[in-house]
């Protein structure tokens, strides 16, 4: 079959759509970019775009707590707090970089060629992040996005054109040419062209899209922002090649010298970052995978062993943010803190809506929560565990929702929308002896091991009290002490005007 660049792209998008793995990638990337570019972006808006799944949240938190960001604020346990400390652009680009690779992870676990390319992309992104952070460069996370996007082109070809990918590798080795040149011969499109096409299709900023184009490092004229991004990406990608070849000091120095002057970097810094990556145990597995087949391991599901410590940290963060954000922002942040601490797969808040005499799911994090937003159940008592929590005002843990004697007490709407859930937790938020919100969390298909201890419950109740105190304060400011009882109404009204955390 004779291919043109346009035909290759048409086939690529068609195959992605047919296989169904990547439509969520475009939605997630578009949502993050939209939140970053909006003049009215709030912490909750960006958090809603970032927190499309728990795994992404964990990675953002881990990076926000890494050594490079430590001077800005240690012990960050929520994305909301990370955004407050590091800013919208940094967290937005950080989330984009993680999202770009997320969709390939499951496939990479089954295919050695995908695993190798994904490992190389991860290493290149890590180098770009480390070298820019070492030099205090403000646009470091944007450079990481560009670096990864260069590799996404290779991943797309590997995934959608497996036979042609083998042909590309054979041709490159036989003719002594680059993989990109071989790709252009086989599929009529180079990797930079494909990367730029993907950036435009997914709605990434123009500076990132144009940074896919090759640049000339010769000359003394200052690099444009897009050219600077491209140079960092190219250097990072070439560095990965050298690391997987054995990290020869002379070759690393030669590579550093080609880029250092144009990027205003110290040659010694470039070399040392590469050498440090080889010694870093967190990178050694990726180096091994990029040179040979290796299996990947998924983190265990369920409640973390150190959940009490995590809850203590989360409570401190919620308290610290109480004066910096509104009631809705505090509720979102609390959901995040609880989710991180207890290892929930889904975490949500049902808000009392007086006009409808119901509780409606208005805020939430997790894959199963998003399609359920707007779900409601009547406030009037029914003999189920949700109304038991509302009436008694006490937290409830259902450690096995499949147990025959418990099943009749689980409402039908929960069994339909959260059909795989085995364990879940309910925490009422009270206002003048009335429940105004019900916080919910589950572990997906995993059982909660060890239950919820007394100390853990104490921390959780304190978090609920922080929300209640915030509602008191807002209600008194808006209508005097007598309007405190209407604080739940206020939360419901604010909730109706926000997307919430999903």
Tokens 């808040």 belong to which residue? Answer: 349
Mean pLDDT over 283-296 rounds to 65
Lowest mean pLDDT among 96-105, 110-119, 257-266, 464-473: 96-105
On whether the CB atoms of residues 83 and 43 are closer than 8 A, the answer is yes
Residue 298 has pLDDT above 60, yes or no: no
pLDDT at 485 over 50: no
Q: Which pLDDT score is estimated for 22? A: 60
pTM of the model: 0.58
Cβ density class 179-211: b for 16+ within 10 Å, e for less: bbbbbbebbbbbbbbbbbbbbebbebbebbbbb
- 32, 99 contact by CB (below 8 A): yes
Rounded mean pLDDT of the chain?
81
Query: What's the whole-number mean pLDDT along residues 150-166?
Result: 90
Q: Per-residue pLDDT tens for 13-22?
A: 888 888 765 6
What's residue 413's pLDDT?
Answer: 95
pLDDT of residue 105: 67
Confidence class for position 181, pLDDT limits 50, 70, 90: very high
pLDDT given for residue 293 in this prediction: 41
Quote the tokens at residue 181. Answer: 């040149």
Report the pLDDT value the prediction gives residue 66, as an integer from 0 to 100: 63
- Between 252 and 203, the more confident residue is 252
- At 108-118, the pLDDT tens digits run 666 788 888 88
What pLDDT sits at residue 224?
A: 87
pLDDT(46) > 70: no
Listed residue (163, 143, 290, 104) closest to 228, CA to CA: 143
The tens digit of pLDDT for each residue in 369-384 reads 888 989 999 999 999 9
Question: What values do phi and psi take at 360, rounded to 5?
Answer: -120, 140
Residue reference for tokens 């054995």: 246
Query: Highest mean pLDDT: which of 182-191, 195-204, 321-330, 450-459?
Result: 182-191
Tokens of 345: 């797969």
* More reliable by pLDDT, 249 or 94: 249
Task: Kindly write down the DSSP assignment for every residue of 78-124, as one continuous string.
Answer: SHHHHHHHH-HHHHHHHHHHHHHHHTTHHHHTT-HHHHHHHHHHHHH
78: which 2 tokens?
């929520």
* pLDDT score at 246: 84
Residue 17's pLDDT is: 80
Residues of the chain with pLDDT > 70: what percent?
78
- Rounded to 10°, the helix 281-291/112-134 angle is 140
CA distance 92 to 49: 9
Contact 274, 243 (CB under 8 A): yes
Q: Is the pLDDT of residue 393 over 80?
A: yes
**Residue 431 Ramachandran class (φ > 0 left, ψ -120 to 50 alpha, else beta):** beta
Q: What is the pLDDT of residue 38?
A: 66
pLDDT reported for residue 49: 60
Coil, strand or helix at 384: coil
Q: What is the pLDDT of residues 62-88, one digit of tens each?
A: 666 665 555 554 567 777 777 776 777
* Cα–Cα distance, 92 to 81 (Å, whole number): 13
Q: What is the pLDDT of residue 191?
A: 93
Q: With a cut of 90, say whether residue 292 has pLDDT above it.
A: no
What is the pLDDT, as a whole number, of residue 386? 96
pLDDT of residue 193: 94
pLDDT at 182: 95
pLDDT at 101 over 60: yes
440 vs 61, more confident: 440
pLDDT range class, residue 244, cuts 50, 70, 90: confident
> What is the pLDDT confidence band of residue 501, given thresholds at 50, 70 and 90?
very low
């Amino acid at each position: 079959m004779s291919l043109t660049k346009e035909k290759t792209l048409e086939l690529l998008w068609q195959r992605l759509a047919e296989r169904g793995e990547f439509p969520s990638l475009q939605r997630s990337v578009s949502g993050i970019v939209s939140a970053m570019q909006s003049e009215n972006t709030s912490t909750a808006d960006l958090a809603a775009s970032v927190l499309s799944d728990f795994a992404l949240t964990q990675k953002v938190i881990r990076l926000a707590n890494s050594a490079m960001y430590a001077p800005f604020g240690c012990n960050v346990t929520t994305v909301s707090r990370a955004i407050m400390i590091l800013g919208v652009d940094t967290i937005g680009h950080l989330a984009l970089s993680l999202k770009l690779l997320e969709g390939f992870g499951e496939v990479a676990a089954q295919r050695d060629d995908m695993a190798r390319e994904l490992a190389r992309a991860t290493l290149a992104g890590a180098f770009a992040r480390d070298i820019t952070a070492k030099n205090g460069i403000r646009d470091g996370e944007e450079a990481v996005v560009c670096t990864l996007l260069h590799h996404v082109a290779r991943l797309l070809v590997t995934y959608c054109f497996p036979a042609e990918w083998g042909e590309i590798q054979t041709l490159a080795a036989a003719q002594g040419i680059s993989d990109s040149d071989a790709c252009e011969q086989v599929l009529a499109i180079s990797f930079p062209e494909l990367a730029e096409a993907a950036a435009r299709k997914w709605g990434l900023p123009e500076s990132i899209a144009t940074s896919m184009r090759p640049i000339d490092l010769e000359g003394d004229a200052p690099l444009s922002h897009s050219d600077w991004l491209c140079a960092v990406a190219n250097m990072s990608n070439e560095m990965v090649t050298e690391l997987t070849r054995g990290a020869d000091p002379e070759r690393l120095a030669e590579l550093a010298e080609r880029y250092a002057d144009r990027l205003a970097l110290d040659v010694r810094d470039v070399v040392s970052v590469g050498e440090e990556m080889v010694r870093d145990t967190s990178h050694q597995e990726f180096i091994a995978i990029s040179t040979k087949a290796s299996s990947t391991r998924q983190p265990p599901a369920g409640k973390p062993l150190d959940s009490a410590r995590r809850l203590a940290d989360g409570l401190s963060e919620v308290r610290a943010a109480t004066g910096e954000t509104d009631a809705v922002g505090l509720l979102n942040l609390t959901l995040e803190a609880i989710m991180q601490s207890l290892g929930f797969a889904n975490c949500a808040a049902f808000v009392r809506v007086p006009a409808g005499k119901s509780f409606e799911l208005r805020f939430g994090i997790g894959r199963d929560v998003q399609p359920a937003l707007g779900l409601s159940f009547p406030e009037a008592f029914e003999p189920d565990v949700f109304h038991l929590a509302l009436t008694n005002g006490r937290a409830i843990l259902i450690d096995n929702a499949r147990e025959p004697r418990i099943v009749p007490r689980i409402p039908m709407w929960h069994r339909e929308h959260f059909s795989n859930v085995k364990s879940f937790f309910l925490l009422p938020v009270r206002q003048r002896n009335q429940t105004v919100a019900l916080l919910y969390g589950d572990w997906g298909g995993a059982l909660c091991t060890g239950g919820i201890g007394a100390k853990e419950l104490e921390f959780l109740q304190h978090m609920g009290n922080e929300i209640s105190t915030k509602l008191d304060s807002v209600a008194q400011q808006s209508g005097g002490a007598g309007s405190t009882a209407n604080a739940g109404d206020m939360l419901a009204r604010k909730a109706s005007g926000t997307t919430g955390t999903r």
